[in-house]
Amino acid sequence: MTDTPPTPTPIRLLLADDHPVVRAGLRAVLETEEGITVAAEAATAEEAVARAALGGIDVVLMDLRFGGGMNGAEATAAITAPPGAPRVLVVTTYDTDADTLPAIEAGATGYLLKDAPPEELAAAVRTAAAGRSALAPAVADRLLTRLREPHTSLTRRETEVLALVAEGLSNQLIAARLHLTEGTVKSHLGRVYAKLGVDSRTAAVAAATGLGLIGR
């Protein structure tokens, strides 16, 4: 008598997105895939952290921006911190360095865009569950470019300052928003100018946008 091989345990997913329609779409796509099951959903980053801490989750599909409170990168750091934590696969519409890099630095195993085809999404889930990196081609290309051209790398604070410049805020307003002194804001901008090879606020915003360092 031949023993029947045991059925593999399905990959258990937690869908974290503040849009119910997006969660429903991800569920509809992924639950048709063999060996994948959606175990839970979360409408906020805080809910995702709390649910992941309860256990029984292998991969968290994490959006980056929620309506308020904790963002996706912060939730990713909290989820991946404990030993034996689930993997986090970021699934979002944002692919600038300002979004990509904090998420990966926070511990995300993969980064995929929401317009990815269903088969690519399923493959990324399986890759993440196996502990391997799953990066969208555009994101992987940008990361490689950043590694090859470190002079274009902005720190998180420099990116925050420049993003507020792009919104039209003065140094005084930026300082108030980020709880910095005006002198510190000017220092950050000076380093931004040097890294991007520009000499004005307008040129810095244009260069950073073209490089994908800040959103359009």
Confidence of residue 63 (pLDDT cuts 50, 70, 90): very high
**Do both 110 and 168 map to the same domain?**
no
Residue that finishes a domain, picked among 131, 146, 161? 146
Total domain count, the chain: 2
32 and 114 in a single domain? The answer is yes
* Cα-based torsion angle of the residue sequence 102, 138, 80, 67 in order, rounded to the nearest 10 degrees: 60
- What would the mean pLDDT of 30-59 be, rounded to a whole number? 94
pLDDT tens figures, 123-172 = 999 999 998 888 877 777 766 666 555 555 778 888 899 999 999 999 99
d(CA 75, CA 88): 10
Asked if 180 and 78 sit in the same domain, the reply is no
Residues 106 and 166 in one domain: no
pTM score of the predicted model: 0.66
The answer to whether position 1 is within a domain reads no
Q: Mean pLDDT of all residues in the chain?
A: 86
Task: Report the percentage of the chain scoring pLDDT > 70.
Answer: 88
The DSSP H or E segment spanning 92 is strand 87-92
Q: Are residues 124 and 67 in the same domain?
A: yes
Q: Please give the residue range of the domain that contains residue 50.
A: 11-146
What amino acid is encoded at 16 in this protein? A
Asked whether the predicted pLDDT for residue 1 surpasses 80, the reply is no
Same domain membership, residue 109 and residue 42:
yes
Identify the domain boundary among 146, 173, 195: 146
Domain-located, residue 80? yes
Of 146, 169, 186, which marks where a domain is finished? 146
Alpha-helical segments (H) within 1-65: 20-30, 45-53
**Do 25 and 121 have their domain in common?**
yes
